[in-house]
Amino acid sequence: MYIWFRDGEPVYVGEAKGVKGLRGRLRAHLAVSTDLSRSTLRASVAVAQLGVTRAYARRRPSIMTDAEIKHVNEWLTGCELGWQGCATAIAAHELEVRLRSEWTPP
């Protein structure tokens, strides 16, 4: 599982499951394309920072402007990333649930 931080505060937690694992999730979150539908993190940043709706941010094909995408991408460059290996998928899920109960991501 992995956690994104901004100014030392957690802003997003996710599980790195599936065939592509952590590398695949990070690739989706660090993409600079206009398609935010593949990254809940990028869509959440758009909602929190730009005040757009989740439906607007995740629409396919994207209707977000280049300026909006640039803002999301720049905001993410100010983040740090941490990750924690877990013995099982169940342990990773339980840790994610516990962390989410301690704070609410944007």
Tokens encoding 11: 């802003």
Q: What is the pLDDT of residues 60-87, one digit of tens each?
A: 988 999 999 999 999 999 999 999 888 8
Instruction: Tell whether the model's pLDDT for residue 11 goes beyond 60.
Output: yes
pLDDT digit string (tens) for 15-36?
Answer: 887 778 889 989 999 999 999 9
Cα 96 from Cα 56, distance rounded (Å): 27
pLDDT of 104 strictly over 80: no
Q: Which residue has the tokens 């990333």?
A: 81
pTM of the model: 0.83
